[in-house]
Structure formats: structure tokens, C-alpha cells
Amino acid sequence: MSKIKLLYLIESSETGGAENIFLSLVEMTDRERFSVSVGLFYRGWLYDELVKRGYTPIVFVNKRGGYDLSLLLQLIKYIKKNRIDLVCSHLFSANLYAGVAGKISRVPVVAVFHGTVDVSSNDKKAKFKFFVLNGCVRKIVYVSKYLEEFFSLNYNANRVKSQVIHNGIDLSSKIVIGHNDFTRERFGIDVEDFLVIAVGDMRPAKDYPTLLKAIALAVKEIKHLKLIIAGTETDLIVELESLKKNLRLTDYVEYLGYRENVRTILPYCDAYVSSSVSEGFSLTIVEAMSARIPVIATQSGGPEEIVKHEVTGILVEPGVPHLLAKAIVNLSKNRHLKNHLVESAAQMVVKKFSSKLMISQYERLFEEVCRD
């Protein structure tokens, strides 16, 4: 049986959860069953990372901004010339371009959505674009049931074509502590400090202001409390630095910037906190659980499909600093709860959120789509 010629396509080349899952799919797809090629819309971190790993990504250039007919024609030409059998696209713009190109080229498309922010709330044509998408793609994959419901209700996404495949992490690779430049000592974090970590680029959806306010409340009860935030710094850093200063948290909060392998930092930490107001899934929650770090997360969509309250983690209402602070204080003082959460979460990750399981679900879907 000949290999399926598969094109993975994504619009973003930045750091982030969607980009990391995209990279995992490219790397782990079975080469005995699939011949893989990769396409991006511009060069950036993801492009460089793919090149480092021996790939030659195709860049489909948007020459005009907005919806570009020339980009669509580039994609159609590539699909036809290379006799692509299937396109798996990621994020809204790539999904739309791939859907239309696939329809014209008579090649099936699997479109993947990673978060509510995939679609801008200011996009007045979003419902029309979903109407086009519904008619063009073969399957729509969501990384959580929450997203499936969100896009179905708000944009009339086709439920018949939808499927949920949760993100997963590589459990086969061992976490080697020290394979980065992070140590507690280097950042002035003492042995007795209760170290909390948050991970994610500085974007509004992460709601770091609420987290800083929660830390300001928690330090009143936890003498040795420290917070580190790992993620690409954006324009929001100015607001966060100002808030940190106003809340007198200079000695309690440290920004690490983007970290390539945050899993090697997690073992140094005592708790992981997600303060988001919206999360499509949250791969770093799963990574923290795998590293046996107790998790506190807001009820922001995807996390509820990972965290079972007081079983595998602690869930709190988003945007409420005192509830987040209470959960942090509780974890710091209740060793029995901490141990219980860690054990239950680690077992759950092995059963439900491995990259091996994720990849097998995608590969099975690809083969089913190509058979239809």
C-alpha cells in the first residue's frame, strides 16, 4: 500500500501551544504510512525549529494582507504539483485557505482548532467564513469538547464533521533536571520558598494581572512565596511590570521569558497555576501533572477536561484573585492534599494525555478520511 502524502499547514510561526502540538504531529507521524511535508505562512520560531530538526518548510507568502488570492493559488499549485492526498491545517486562516484549496483540488482537508482566540472577536465575517469552511473541509478537529461546543454555538460550525482529539505530551522522554539555565539558586529562590510557576506567552487570555493580585494576597499568609512566569514577553510586559511594582511584588515575582523546554524547569517548582480566562486545552497543565507538580487552574474551558476538582487538581473561578490566592495558600499548607493530587494526576495523564494516543487518533482519522 502506498504512503499517504500528507501536508501539515499552519498560519503561525510563533511560540505557543498550537505550534508545539503542530511540531509534535510533524515529528511523530508514522513515516511508514505517511509521507509528510510542512507548510507555513511566514518565517519565525516554528520555521527555525523545523529547520533545526531537518525539515524544509514551504512558506506560502501572503503578499497583500487580509485574504490573499495569490496565497490560495500558491497552495493549490503545491497540492497539485506534489500530488498531496490530504491536508491537515491548523488555526483559522490556514483552515480556511486549506479548505478552499482542498475543495478546488479535490483533496480532503482536516481542519484543527486550538483555542477560542483562533477566531478574532472583531471578525465580522467569521460566520460566513465558517459557512465556507463547513462546505469545504472533510473534518473539523477540536482539542477539547469545550471548543467543539464554543464554535458550534457561536459560529455554526458543522457538528456532523466535528471530532475531539485531546492534546498529548511525550511520556517516553525522561525529564533531565538541569538541562537549562534555570536553578532556584540562580534566581534567588531559597530551599524553603514555595515556588509557583505559570507558563504561557503574555497575552490577555492568560490574565496574568489576576495572578499577580492573587500572589499579593497569598504572600500575607505564605512568608516564603515566589512566582515565576515563563513565556514570550509582549507589549503587556509594561502593564505587568507596573502592576508588580504597585503591588510591591518586586521580591516575589520573576519573568523568565520564553523557555524552550519548560518541562525541565517544572521539577524545581512546588505548584503550577493557570489563571487564564480562556483556554482551548492547556498542554502545560498536562506537563505539570506529568512532572508531579500540583495544579491550580481556572474554569476557563479546556482545563475542566483535564482537572477534576480536588482529585487531579484544584479548579477556581476565573478573574477572582482571592480564590486563586486561597488555593495557593491551601496547597502550601496541606501536604496530604498536595500528594493526593500529584498521584491521581500523574496516573490520569498516562491514561488520557500521551502524545502516542494523540498521534494514533490523528493517524486513524487521516486514513479514514482518505478511504472515504
In the chain, the domains with their CATH numbers are 4-168+354-371 (3.40.50.2000), 194-352 (3.40.50.2000)
What is the percent of the chain with per-residue pLDDT over 90, rounded to a whole number?
Answer: 83
pLDDT at 192 exceeding the cut of 80: yes
pLDDT at 15 exceeding the cut of 90: no
pLDDT single digits (tens) 124-156: 899 999 999 999 999 999 999 999 999 999 999
Is the Cβ–Cβ distance between 345 and 289 less than 8 Å?
A: yes
DSSP strands (E only) in 183-294: 194-199, 225-230, 253-257, 271-274
Strands laid side by side in the 314-316 sheet: 253-257, 225-230, 194-199, 271-274, 295-298, 314-316
* Mean pLDDT value of segment 180-199: 80
Query: What band does 302 get if pLDDT is binned at 50, 70 and 90?
Result: very high
**Whole-Å CA distances, 156 to 112, 229, 282:** 16, 36, 24
For residue 370, the model assigns a pLDDT of 95
Widest distance between CA atoms in the chain? 65
Q: Is the pLDDT higher at 186 or at 346? A: 346
pLDDT single digits (tens) 55-69: 999 999 987 767 899
Is the Cβ–Cβ distance between 356 and 171 less than 8 Å?
A: yes
Query: By C-alpha distance, which of 297, 299, 290 is closest to 353?
Result: 290
Q: Is the pLDDT higher at 44 or at 223? A: 44
pLDDT single digits (tens) 200-215: 999 999 999 999 999 9
pLDDT at 1 exceeding the cut of 90: no
Q: How far is CA 94 from the centre of its chain?
A: 17
pLDDT at 181 exceeding the cut of 90: no
What is the percent of the chain with per-residue pLDDT over 70, rounded to a whole number?
Answer: 97
pTM of the model: 0.89
- Name the one residue in this structure whose C-alpha cell is 493517524: 363
Q: How far is 141 from 143, CA to CA, in rounded Å? A: 7
Output the average pLDDT for the chain.
93
Q: What residues have CB less than 8 Å from 238, skipping those under 6 apart?
A: none
